[in-house]
Amino acid sequence: VPPHAAAFLGSELGELGELAPARGPVALADVELPDAAPLPPLGEVPLRTDREARVAHAAGRSYPDLVRLRTGRIAGAPDGVAYPRSAEEVAAIVRACAADGVAVVPFGGGTSVVGGVEPLRGPHAAVLALDLRDLDRLLDVDARSQLAWLEPGLRGPAAEALLGSRGLTLGHLPQSFEYATIGGFAATRSAGQASTGYGRFDELARGLRGVAPAGELDVPPRPPNAAGPDLREVLLGSEGTLAVLTAVAVRVRPKPAARRFEAFSLPDWPDGLEAFRRLAQDGVAPDVARLSDLEETRISLAQAGDGTAVRALRGYRMLRGHATGCLAILGWDGDPDEIARRRSVARRVLHAHGGLGLGAAPARAWEHGRFEAPYLRDALMARGVLAETLETATTWSGLEALHGAVTAALRTALGARAIVMCHVSHLYPTGASLYFTFLRRAPEGEELALWRAAKTAACEAIAAQGATITHHHAVGTDHAPWMAAEKGEAGLALLRAAKRELDPDGILNPGKLLPTS
Amino acid sequence: VPPHAAAFLGSELGELGELAPARGPVALADVELPDAAPLPPLGEVPLRTDREARVAHAAGRSYPDLVRLRTGRIAGAPDGVAYPRSAEEVAAIVRACAADGVAVVPFGGGTSVVGGVEPLRGPHAAVLALDLRDLDRLLDVDARSQLAWLEPGLRGPAAEALLGSRGLTLGHLPQSFEYATIGGFAATRSAGQASTGYGRFDELARGLRGVAPAGELDVPPRPPNAAGPDLREVLLGSEGTLAVLTAVAVRVRPKPAARRFEAFSLPDWPDGLEAFRRLAQDGVAPDVARLSDLEETRISLAQAGDGTAVRALRGYRMLRGHATGCLAILGWDGDPDEIARRRSVARRVLHAHGGLGLGAAPARAWEHGRFEAPYLRDALMARGVLAETLETATTWSGLEALHGAVTAALRTALGARAIVMCHVSHLYPTGASLYFTFLRRAPEGEELALWRAAKTAACEAIAAQGATITHHHAVGTDHAPWMAAEKGEAGLALLRAAKRELDPDGILNPGKLLPTS
């Protein structure tokens, strides 16, 4: 946390006037760890049952996870961690655990922020973390069809490097990019920062292979067709509860020749939403499209400090009547001529809605820090600040009301000295996503209660608006209580029937996705 | 059948040298109809049990359906036809039939060409056709979100008229457009002639409501999200076997200001496929994109007769070295400036692959006759010719082999004096569809055996190539035997589990979608 940002946040979040000094997490040896229960024999599959491996697979990266890891009071740990090296070894593990009634938690990058990798054992005697890191190969490339089969343990950068050596890109850049894996992207219907252009991961993932206790699933990357319900869309987002994914066929593209970013200021939130709606519905949306509300714009610019460039930007906005306003960041990938054409169309739309071009610098600053927020969150936690995000999506006609309702719910739950801010980051013809960030000082020991109150208030407001409980963070344990509102009773029954069929003993990722009651 | 076309087909299909004179179907009174079994009381819901209603709901529009209707030897008939006027009446019918163990066949336009509306009763004592024609309202328009809720019984033209009065269009134009319904489009994952641009119906249908024996399903038209498996994608393509759809939220667009068509000649099939691949993968595909193979091009031009325009076109192609070649038809909708830009980009791609512009006339001729093929098929049947179509799709790298394998399979099954021709009509980044038409003289009484042999040979070839068994005709009864190849054993088990959950007694559209064995 840079000093000017710390000072600014202290003044916003208040009471003590300044932030507490950095405080580190407890040592590995001091983490409270239950004794490991016995696991079935896994033959040749590498297995670890040591403290380090178990603690490293005890949690994801949700705020409660981080609080527990930091204090050493973890909720539980897997009894062991298996590291299969092939789809066959994954199948052998699933078979062995099904036979012995041992829970299996598929583990990719461990970046879930919704409790998706909690080592819950459900009714079972033991729980095994199935770490897919060694399934990290590029299996096949069909360049003519722009398809590549990837193994699930490949992290974002490694997948891009393998594809990049063939002149290809996947273009999937979630904030978790550095650690998250191909299997995790598919299991959670991930969306990345350029998904408005490249498509969500559930669009990019054209084929899947997976292993369930009841058998193996194989969805070839055929074009869209009329051969009944789409099973790809059942496995995508199943979060390891229906099958362990062993390969994903992704759509790839030629690496773009150029990339361009540009920032704009929109007079107000409704203007910005209307401009973005036009971009999406006219089919001229940039690949990256991000619109901050008034508060996020204010906070971002204040946190940017007081350097010459920032002061110049502030002065320019003031001069042009944008003392307040909403910051928009647009990005284009591709051939330079095509970027120029698309940019010109987008500029016309933004200008028509009162947009003021701010040049590339603010957008490049965003691009530079695009994967940093999770690290900043850790740094803030170490100084006694709860920093959390949540996201949703709804139709264009519902966006303003949803924004207002969730902002109000969070403000009520967090009290006066809190920051609640939001941006739109994914555009669709019929609607868009909202991504909320909230910060508040959290006295030691009160973190989890505060988080729970804020999260519950926001989720209730989202459900009351008929919006989706999660646009791209997925369900995990945290959103499971709202799945009945999301899917309806008959919808939930359908998901439970799929689970019973593929995983009759419920060993796959217990307690995730579906409400436990 | 115009005289010059009849003469040409006679010379191609042969033996007798000319076609048999027109022969009409048997009279309604002469259709063999089993006695009607008793149906449960349906309260106020209009119900017909007369001969005309039962025969009209005894079949769809597959070739075997037409042969049976024409000869009066129908395979079966519903015991009655209910005409619900509201979603509540649909729910009441489903409840009553579930309670009494009576099969229910949802019936829209009756245009299924794969046996999707056959009045099969399965293990039940009676079967009711549930005709949705009176659910024909536009329920709601959210213009800002480009969404409209439509009732399932609305036919294509009526839906377009209702939307058109608000300046909107759905843009969904399958060959069955004049009769097929919104519910049928959704239940079968329909694709239309402009789906390359507007999207398949499974993309256009953003929300669904339906009634199953186990309860009511409601999928609101939320933007894509990460809240678990997508139930919309389970109901789409479920062909009335999981629920009766009672409302569909579709994506709508402003009516285009202009429409433009243009024809091209490509030197050969591989050139044409490569040009179309570039259009799709570069994101510059027109809204309508259709490429005929050498044979379809030859037949189409020959059937077009010998008028001045056709002779001029033939002369021009000859002169430019396109004595043979593949006809491509491209179409664009939208703002005239944008059409001009997109057309210019597409022309460059086609020229780079040896394409020769043929102007608008051949394309307009296609547009003019775009819904006529089913009528022509009836006319040919009346003159003793089997005329049938089937369709599939695969990756770009698999298209040539698939085309070769299916063509060879059909030629082998049909013998020497047959026409087997094909076109690509739907482009995706990773692949495309193939649509085959085949014609052969069918001696009276041998029609069904001939059809069965050809259809089976083509389906086996498609499955052996790993292609989809159906791109847009859906599964019905005809493709059900290949669903194990399409979905895999675990995939089929998953579909059966969904069916058991929503329709435990199996009353909804028995014998469709899933193999009966």
DSSP per-residue codes, B223-250: PS--SSS-THHHHTT-TTSS-EEEEEEE
- CB-CB: which of B226, B238, B501 is closest to A229? B238
8 Å CB contact of A397 and B216: no
- CB-CB: which of A190, A234, A430 is closest to B494? A234
Q: Is the pLDDT of residue B24 over 70?
A: no
Of how many residues is chain B composed?
517
First-to-last alpha carbon distance for chain A, in angstroms, is 41
Residues of chain A with pLDDT > 70, as a percent, come to 97
Tell me the residue type at B244: V
What's the whole-model pTM score?
A: 0.96
Q: Which of A196, A225, A273 to mutate to test the interface with B (most CBs of B within 10 A)?
A: A225
DSSP code for B24: P
Q: Is the pLDDT of residue B258 over 60?
A: yes
Lowest-confidence region among A26-40, A161-175, B446-460 = A26-40
pLDDT of residue A17: 46
Q: Is the pLDDT of residue B21 over 70?
A: no
Pairing mode of beta strands B103-107, B127-131:
parallel
Q: Which of A140, A142, A145 to mutate to test the interface with B (most CBs of B within 10 A)?
A: A145
pLDDT digits (tens, 9 = 90+) for A137-192: 999 999 999 999 999 999 999 999 999 999 999 999 999 999 999 999 999 999 99
8 Å CB contact of A227 and B468: yes
Q: How far is B439 from chain A (nearest CA, A)?
A: 24
Q: Is the pLDDT of residue B390 over 90?
A: yes
Q: Is B291 within 8 Å of B254 (Cβ atoms)?
A: no
E-assigned strand segments in A396-451: 418-424, 431-441
Q: For residues B196-214, give the mean pLDDT.
A: 97
Which residues, 6 or more positions from A170, have their beta carbon under 8 angstroms from its beta carbon? A148, A159, A160, A163, A198, A204, A250, A252, A253
8 Å CB contact of B227 and A428: no
Give the pLDDT band of residue B20 (cuts 50, 70, 90).
low
pLDDT of residue B109: 96
Q: For residues B352-359, give the mean pLDDT.
A: 94
Q: For residues B441-463, give the mean pLDDT.
A: 95
User: Judging by beta carbons within 10 Å of its beta carbon (0-12, 13-18, 19+), is residue B517 exposed, middle or buried?
Assistant: exposed
Q: Is the pLDDT of residue A366 over 50?
A: yes
pLDDT of residue A8: 82
- CB-CB: which of A226, A397, A502 is closest to B471? A226
**Distance from C-alpha of B60 to C-alpha of B234, rounded to nearest angstrom:** 24
**Bridge partners, A131 (sequence order):** A107
Tokens representing B80?
């009655």
For residue B484, the number of C-alpha atoms closer than 13 Å in the C-beta half-sphere is: 6
- CB-CB: which of A224, A237, A502 is closest to B202? A224
Q: Which residues of A touch B236 (CB under 8 A)?
A: 229-230
Better-predicted residue by pLDDT, B421 or B443: B421
Phi/psi of residue B52, each to 5°?
-60, -45
Give the pLDDT band of residue B16 (cuts 50, 70, 90).
very low
- CB-CB: which of B145, B188, B231 is closest to A226? B188
Tokens representing A113?
């922020």
Q: Is the pLDDT of residue A15 over 60?
A: no
Q: How far is A200 from chain B (nearest CA, A)?
A: 8
Q: Is A282 helix (H, G, I), strand (E, B) or coil?
A: coil
pLDDT of residue A18: 53
Q: Which of A156, A153, A160 is nearest to A137 (CA)?
A: A153
8 Å CB contact of A428 and B223: yes
pLDDT digits (tens, 9 = 90+) for A299-310: 888 877 777 777
8 Å CB contact of B237 and A222: no
8 Å CB contact of B226 and A191: yes
Q: Is the pLDDT of residue B131 over 50?
A: yes
Q: Among all residues of chain A, which has the CA nearest to that of B432?
A: A223
Lowest-confidence region among A29-38, A282-291, A315-324 = A315-324
**Distance from C-alpha of A34 to C-alpha of A46, rounded to nearest angstrom:** 22
8 Å CB contact of B144 and A466: no
Q: Is B364 helix (H, G, I), strand (E, B) or coil?
A: helix
Rounded mean pLDDT of chain B? 93
Q: Is the pLDDT of residue A371 over 60?
A: yes
Give the pLDDT band of residue A24 (cuts 50, 70, 90).
low
Longest CA span, chain A = 71
Q: Is the pLDDT of residue A16 over 50?
A: no
Identify the sign of the CA torsion B452, B458, B463, B467.
Answer: negative
Q: Is the pLDDT of residue B18 over 70?
A: no
Q: Which of A494, A496, A499 to mutate to test the interface with B (most CBs of B within 10 A)?
A: A494
Chain Cα centroid distance, residue B429: 21
Q: Is the pLDDT of residue B23 over 70?
A: no
Q: Is the pLDDT of residue B19 over 60?
A: no
pLDDT of residue A312: 75
**Distance from C-alpha of B351 to C-alpha of B328, rounded to nearest angstrom:** 12
Q: For residues B17-42, give the mean pLDDT.
A: 80
Q: Is B440 within 8 Å of B419 (Cβ atoms)?
A: yes
Better-predicted residue by pLDDT, A320 or B408: B408
pLDDT of residue B364: 82
Q: Which residues of A touch B466 (CB under 8 A)?
A: 220, 222
- CB-CB: which of B396, B432, B495 is closest to A229? B495
Q: Is the pLDDT of residue A339 over 70?
A: yes
Q: For residues A33-50, give the mean pLDDT.
A: 95
Tokens representing B69?
């209707």
pLDDT of residue B17: 46
Complex confidence, ipTM: 0.96
